[in-house]
Structure formats: structure tokens, C-alpha cells
Amino acid sequence: MLSGRYPQRNGTYELFRNEAPDYGYKYPPAEYAITPERVLGMDEREILLPKVLKQAGYVSGIFGKWDLGQLRRFLPLQRGFDDFYGFVNTGIDYFAHERYGVPSMYRNNQPTTEDKGTYCTYLFKREALRFIAANKDRPFFCYVPFNAPHGASTLDGPRGVQAPEEYKKMYSPAKTSKEQNRVNYMAAVTCMDEAIGEILAALDKRQIADNTIVIFHSDNGGAGGADNAPLRGGKSQMFEGGLRVPCVMRWPGAIPGGSVCDEFLTSLEVFPTLCKAAGVEPPKDVILDGFDMAAVLAGKAKSPRKEMFWERRSDQAARVGNWKWVKSERGLGLFDLSEDVGERKDLSAKRPDVLKEVEGRFAAWKKAMDEAEPRGPFRDF
């Protein structure tokens, strides 16, 4: 979303994380300092959205999860943001603000433990409200990537979703561990939902709601206590339950209130859409993989997007029109999403012509990504 480019083009197509904690290992500080999780980051040549918006006088803040690198040169303030409070890796303990025992919270370019013990959703809400109050009289970009309802990254207790007790009490007491996971998940989402409500209320209070674009969406399908029905699969899978996510937008004067858009759109469209709305030109020497979707959202045009591709390690997927092809460890097949959004009926044998076409489009995309100007840290160049 921040680059407007496929991960395979911007170089960040894998997580920057250590695997040893998955097996109970806690890194001592000197060893952690030279691990991949600590030293890897998005290629510094990549131009992110806040840097482009700055051309139009926007001030930008990010409050929440940042997993594009921990070293100073990779942190948000060096990537175009003006204000940052959050954690700098893929996940943390919601209260201790540590990732498997390693302190992870930053304010701007400096580590901080000032709020240790406070549930992080409250903190990200607090910082977003502060930022909006301070910048209400100028153009601003406020990016709030909550980590909820991500599982906690802790060695000292359950690694599922964490939530404040007051929100857990809103739901019926759990009788099993599975039920408890579901309660924790719902409680964390409810807490986040209320935080988002307070942020929206702040826009109303400052009388800037009518001149503010609001976008909410998830970065992947649900996991753990989530229910993705009728979609198949979930987070980290190439089926629709892992890839198709809800997106809610409010754009006064552009998107009719209460409207629903069923067009084929992706998060790659956010970058060019916001650039156009802000009146700035995207970098001319950078290939973007999305487009301005304003007219589509307004119901004035059909989406020009006809295909989308995904790849992570050995898992691959492609959507061409309403046809979806999956080749992964969790399963494979060819599906007609117009009639089978749950991906239950594999049509590979019945429609070998379509299968060949979709596989061919994936191969063409793969070739284009391989031929793109290489970006670190994973590409060999």
C-alpha cells in the first residue's frame, strides 16, 4: 500500500523476522543486534506515499506497526513520515511491547519504554488523536496500522490475541481454550473498533470530517479466532480467505454514502488514488502497479483491473477476470469466483484451456517481476 508496487517489485516479499523464538529461544542483546530481523529493511530507493504527499504540503504520521526495517535508515522518519510512535517488527506483546523479550517500541528514531504495561491499541489511538489535534489546520496523512488482532509475540504466555479484561467481559465466559481464543479475538477487535470510532469522532470535533478521506482495510484474511466463511482458508494462504479482505471508505463528495462497490480492486490502488486526491504526481521514474480508483468507487466507471498475482515462497496464485488459480502447499486448483467464491469446485480438468491461459498470465507476470530493477534485501544483484 505504501509503495503502490507489488512486493516482488519493491523487494519486500518476505518477512524480516527471526525464527528461533518459535522454538522458545530468547536472544541476548548482542546476538539480536546482528540477526536478520534487526538488520534487514526495505530498499532505501523505494519511494513511499508520505514522501510524495509532502510535495503538496502534507504532514504525515504513523502510529502502530512498522515492519519495513529497524535500523535508523529504515525507520519511518527516513521514509517520509514526520511523526512516529509504534513498534518496529512483525509482532509484539500487547502490554510489554516486546517481541519475544526484545523491547520493540519507538518514538520517532529512538527506542522507548515510557508506556510499558499499557495495552498498545490505547497507545496508538492516543497518538493518532494527538497528531490530528496538532495538525487539524493543515493537510495531513494519518496512518494507523493497529496490530490487533494479531497474535502476541511472547515467550512468557499464550501467543494468541491479547485483549484488556474489560473487553473480554463483554462476551460470554469461555468453557474451552478454543472458545477463549475466540473471546480474546472479539475483544481485541471490539477495542480496536472503539479506538477507530474515537478517531472518527475527532475529525467531527475538529470539523474536518467533510474534507478527510478515511480508508479502513485489513492486510490479510483472518486467523485464529476469525471466521472467514464463506471464503476458503485464512491468513498466509492463497485461497480467498487469505487474500480477500473487507475495505470500508468514507470520501465525502466523491463516494455516495451507503454505497457498495463489488468491483475488482486491490490495495495497490491506494497509492495512486491518494496522490490524485492530493493533487500530486507520482514519481515519473517509478513503475506503479495500481491506478486511481476514485471513479470506480463513485460508481462512475468499471474497474480497469483484470488480473492480480500473488507469490510467497513456493505458494502461488493468480486471478484473471473471475478465474482464480492456486498452487500451494494447502491445495491447488482452478476456480470460477463468479459462481464459487468459496473455491470448492476445482475446474482444472474441465477447463484446461482456461488453466493454460491463467498459468500463462502468471508466468508473464513472474517474468516481468524478475526483469524489474532489482531491490533488496532478498534479490541477488
Is residue 375 included in any domain, yes or no?
no
For residue range 52-87, list pLDDT tens digits in order: 999 999 999 999 999 999 999 999 999 999 999 999
Distance, CA of 26 to CA of 18 (rounded, Å): 11
Closest by Cα among 117, 111, 132 to 61: 132
Q: What pLDDT does residue 63 have?
A: 98
Residue 351, domain member (yes or no): no
Say which DSSP state 129 is in: H
Q: Any idea what the CATH number is for the domain that residue 271 is in? A: 3.40.720.10
- Number of domains the chain contains: 1
Q: Examine residue 342 and state whether it is found in any structural domain, yes or no.
A: no
Q: Which residues of 103-125 are buried (b: 16+ CB within 10 A; e: fewer)?
A: bbbbeeeeeeeebeeebbbebbb
Would residue 325 count as lying in a domain? Answer: no
Q: Is residue 122 part of a domain?
A: yes
Q: Which run of H or of E encompasses 140?
A: strand 140-143
- Strands 102-103 and 98-99, by their bridges, are antiparallel
pLDDT digits (tens, 9 = 90+) for 281-334: 999 999 999 999 999 999 999 999 999 999 999 999 999 999 999 999 999 999
Write the DSSP string, 295-343.
HHHTTSS-----EEEEEETTEEEEEETTEEEEEETTEEEEEETTT-TT-
132-188 pLDDT tens trace: 999 999 999 999 999 999 999 999 877 899 999 999 999 999 999 999 999 999 999
Tell me whether residue 291 is in a domain. yes
Domain region containing 156: 7-305
Q: Which residue carries 489546520 as its cell?
A: 137
Predicted local distance difference test score (pLDDT) of residue 172: 94
Q: Is residue 53 part of a domain?
A: yes
